[in-house]
Amino acid sequence: MSIDRAAGGFDGRSGPLTGVRIVEFAGIGPGPFAAMLLADMGADVIRIDRPGGADPYSRHVVCRSRPSVTADLKAAPDRDEVLALLDHADALIEGFRPGVMERLGLGPDAVLARNPRLAYGRMTGWGQTGPLAETAGHDISYIAVTGALAAIGAPEAPTVPLNLVGDYGGGALYLALGLLAAVIQARETGRGQVVDAAICDGAASLMAMFCDLRAQGRWADRRGANLLDGGAPFYRTFRCADGEHVAIGPLEPRFFGELCDRLDLAGEEVVRRDDPAVWPALQARLEAAFLTRSREEWCAMFEGSDACLAPVLTLGEAPAHPHLTARRTYTVVDGVAQPSPAPRFSLTSAAIQPPRPQIDSLADAVSAWTDGAAEEQAQFAASEARGPG
């Protein structure tokens, strides 16, 4: 028997991670984003802020679903309270340079000696080891050395893909996955471990399919020359009559045929569309075709088709898209439109968690988790006494 996670934990939180406790040491970029994902799924996350050290990039959205408390990690009393909080945690997230947590007395050896079941998550760009481990960098630095940046953009120069490929794709998602794997392992064995999540490692991992294609001789180390990098004219964007753009991606011949039928395109370059030799001619015909109507007209014309055409929307336009509206992909909280939690679960729904009372001190944070643990134990004992059903 266990607490009914579908109904929420003792503090009203809901989601598949209800009951998992995580201490997040505030940072910027992938660490807070990973913490947001886990908190949205019901994990009880407490963020430790440094005095005057609020994240300038994350306010209304990335820091949602969890409270924060301020601590001076260089002061012994605050550090002792943090260690006491970690005694009750399942996982930890930190994003300092290698060695910083050790110098603060909060490194893995010190923390795991007190709480051997802890999953200790370390989020960095270069990782804990290697010749660049001690040096500074940002998303663009890490994806530059993995081949990811070189593969994205027009032939004349790489294009920076926001910080999605490195910070969030190769960083936050791998950190969250690694922490959950370590928590599962700890619950099976009683032994925690360090999760060394390096953005350079994760970004390289994201390139797995392209490494495979290159090994098969089906990927050239040139931008705009391949199937998925804008080289193929049937997988790219096109300007419309109103200056807006549509994206097409009919990779399968049947879907491409539907696109051409609706555009009234025929000819040798259509028949030989998989031959790169005809791509310039096919691209020119598609460019001319899409310039004849507005983005809205093209979307209306292709609505319900399998031609894989979609409007290229701005961040301001996206929440109003009919499909995203129907799925409630975006949520408005306090007037701020933001992405709803993802992925979705059939039983234990993830949600932007309700606001928690402000935590005024580390002692209050420790008490909250200590009292919560006692209440969960009481619920568990009561459920055991009731028996099955």
pLDDT tens over the chain, length 389 residues: 122 333 344 456 789 999 999 999 999 999 999 999 999 999 999 999 988 766 667 677 998 999 989 999 999 999 999 999 999 999 999 999 999 999 999 999 999 999 999 999 999 999 999 999 999 999 999 999 999 999 999 999 999 999 999 999 999 999 999 999 999 999 999 999 999 999 999 999 999 999 999 999 999 999 999 999 999 999 999 999 999 999 999 999 999 999 999 999 999 999 999 999 999 999 999 999 999 999 999 999 999 999 999 999 999 999 999 999 999 999 998 888 999 999 999 998 899 987 666 788 888 888 888 875 555 544 444 544 555 54
Residue 334 has a pLDDT of 86
Given the residues 138, 245, 321, 364, select the one marked as catalytic.
138
Give the architecture-level CATH label for domain 225-239+245-311: 2-Layer Sandwich (3.30)
Residue limits of CATH 3.40.50.10540 in the chain: 5-206+334-386
> Do the beta carbons of residue 338 and residue 331 sit within 8 Å?
yes
What's the pTM? 0.90
Determine the longest span between alpha carbons in the chain, in angstroms.
77
**Closest CA relative to residue 25, chosen from 126, 95, 115, 88:** 95
Residue 6 has a pLDDT of 34
321 is catalytic: no
Residue 173 has a pLDDT of 98
Residue 384 has a pLDDT of 45
Taking the CA atoms of residue 217, residue 221, residue 223 and residue 228 in that order, the dihedral angle to the nearest 10 degrees is 30
> Do the beta carbons of residue 69 and residue 362 sit within 8 Å?
yes
> Do the beta carbons of residue 349 and residue 18 sit within 8 Å?
no
Given the residues 139, 167, 201, 229, select the one marked as catalytic.
167
Which pair of tokens denotes residue 44?
A: 């009880």
Residue limits of CATH 3.30.1540.10 in the chain: 225-239+245-311
Find out if CATH 3.40.50.10540 is the number for domain 5-206+334-386.
Answer: yes
> Do the beta carbons of residue 85 and residue 91 sit within 8 Å?
no
Neighbours of 312 (CB within 10 A): 14
Partner residues linked to 309 by β-bridges: 248
Q: Which long-range contacts (CB under 8 A, 24 or more apart) does 5-12 make?
A: 5/42, 5/348, 6/347, 6/348, 9/42, 9/44, 9/376, 10/372, 10/375, 10/376, 10/379, 11/44, 11/356, 11/372, 12/354
Q: In angstroms, rounded to a whole number, what is the distance separating the alpha carbons of residues 123 and 31?
A: 6
**Closest CA relative to residue 359, chosen from 16, 12, 58, 70:** 70
What would the DSSP string read from start to end of 47-83? Answer: EEEPTT---SS-SSSTTTTS-EEE--TTSHHHHHHHH
Q: In angstroms, rounded to a whole number, what is the distance separating the alpha carbons of residues 37 and 176?
A: 8
Q: In angstroms, rounded to a whole number, what is the distance separating the alpha carbons of residues 75 and 384?
A: 43
138 is catalytic: yes
Q: Which residue has the tokens 């011949």?
A: 253
> Do the beta carbons of residue 71 and residue 2 sit within 8 Å?
no
Which pair of tokens denotes residue 302?
A: 């292709």
**Closest CA relative to residue 302, chosen from 242, 274, 260, 241:** 260
